[in-house]
Amino acid sequence: MKELSIRPNDAGQRLDRFVGKAVPLLPESLLQKYIRLKRVKLNGKGAKRDTRLAAGDTVQLYINDEFFEKPREDNAFLKVGTPRLDIVYEDENILLADKKPGQLCHSAGVWDYNTLIAHIQAYLYQKKEWDPRDEASFAPALCNRIDRNTGGIVIAAKNAEALRVLNSKIRDREIEKYYLCAVRGRPSPAAGRLENYLFKDAASNQVYVKKRPEPGAKTAVTEYRTLVTKGPLSLVECRLLTGRTHQIRAQMAAAGWPLLGDGKYGSERFNKNYGESRQALCSYKLFFSFPTDAGPLEYLRGREFRVRKVDFAETYFGLQTLDF
């Protein structure tokens, strides 16, 4: 139990709002539940959530110690009352989540409990598959990341051995990644291979396509095939053979087929006509090829996983299923 005294600067606040500020890691839903259960007391007695505090009051909090810690990225999951996840696949070792456009995989330098990793950790914590108090150092972790405004499958490892194997397989290109994108125009040829060099300007977080090697530029290779063309838009599947920053966005734009909604590499006027402000790009399929031994994850060899739905494929091409 922790006890807090109400000073003049805190007087006049509602009980629930004061406790929310005093215990920032406590989810709102849990806060209201604790008030109802009288695990939050005012002057030794239960009180309603909208009770106004007065100077000299004492608030007693019968709340677990972990909620009083300073908010950090590694404990942000505690703030997530109801995890929001679209789970593509899950077993005892891994979880594949369909990240929605607009969500960050990890916090971007500022504490944020709405990241994908926070919701995955909260989900596993609440179903009692993981408890940081029982672990010396491990926490469920993401094995790959995709941009904030890109949707699609992200791999999470539930244990240290799975994390080790998956990181190795991703590094050795033994997990094949396929993306869908909506582009302006009709790619010609309809299927092919884009191979060039990408130079990243870290200051602007933008990459530039180079035809020849130069200092700082890295090889980028993407295979593509056009699936559907409808009006001025084409739906294209891209397979990444390398994994560079903004690879598909930059290469497709350089080839003359910028992604719909891409404000960095695309056409502002074209995007505005469709009312799109996020790139139409989704990591929609993973194939665990595993040409070498995968140890405890050997059972995944040859398995393929897809997202259930891609909004822009349905909106602009009428595709409710992704049977390619």
- Domain of 42, CATH number, reads 3.10.290.10
- Per-residue pLDDT at 226: 98
Question: Quick one: 164 and 59 in the same domain?
Answer: no
Question: Quick one: 125 and 245 in the same domain?
Answer: no
Residues of the chain where predicted confidence (pLDDT) is lower than 50: none
- Per-residue pLDDT at 136: 78
Question: Quick one: 45 and 89 in the same domain?
Answer: no
- Per-residue pLDDT at 322: 80
Question: Quick one: 221 and 163 in the same domain?
Answer: no
pTM: 0.90
Q: Do residues 198 and 143 touch, judged by C-beta distance below 8 A?
A: no
Question: Quick one: 137 and 190 in the same domain?
Answer: no
- Of 68, 97, 118, the residue that ends a domain is 68
Which are the contacts of 59, defined by CB distance < 8 A and separation ≥ 6? Answer: 3, 4, 5, 6, 15, 18, 19, 22, 40, 41, 42, 53
Task: Return the CATH number at 228.
Answer: 3.30.2350.10
Any domain includes 302:
yes
Tokens 């690879």: give the residue. Answer: 247
Which domain, by its residues, includes 13? 2-68
Question: Quick one: 120 and 179 in the same domain?
Answer: no
- Per-residue pLDDT at 150: 96
Question: Quick one: 47 and 81 in the same domain?
Answer: no
In order, the DSSP letters of 194-254 are EEEEEEEETTTTEEEEESS--TTEEEEEEEEEEEEEETTEEEEEEEESS--TTHHHHHHHH
Which are the contacts of 42, defined by CB distance < 8 A and separation ≥ 6? Answer: 15, 51, 53, 57, 58, 59, 60
Question: Quick one: 185 and 233 in the same domain?
Answer: yes
Six-digit token pair at 168?
């190795």
Give the ranges where the chain is alpha helix by DSSP (H). 15-22, 28-36, 116-126, 160-171, 247-254, 268-274, 311-317
- Per-residue pLDDT at 320: 83
Which are the contacts of 285, defined by CB distance < 8 A and separation ≥ 6? Answer: 153, 177, 178, 304, 305, 306, 307, 322
What CA–CA distance (Å, rounded) separates 131 from 216? Answer: 42
Question: Quick one: 189 and 232 in the same domain?
Answer: yes
Question: Quick one: 113 and 239 in the same domain?
Answer: no
Sign of CA dihedral 281, 320, 189, 304: positive
Any domain includes 323:
no
Question: Quick one: 217 and 299 in the same domain?
Answer: yes
- Of 32, 51, 68, the residue that ends a domain is 68
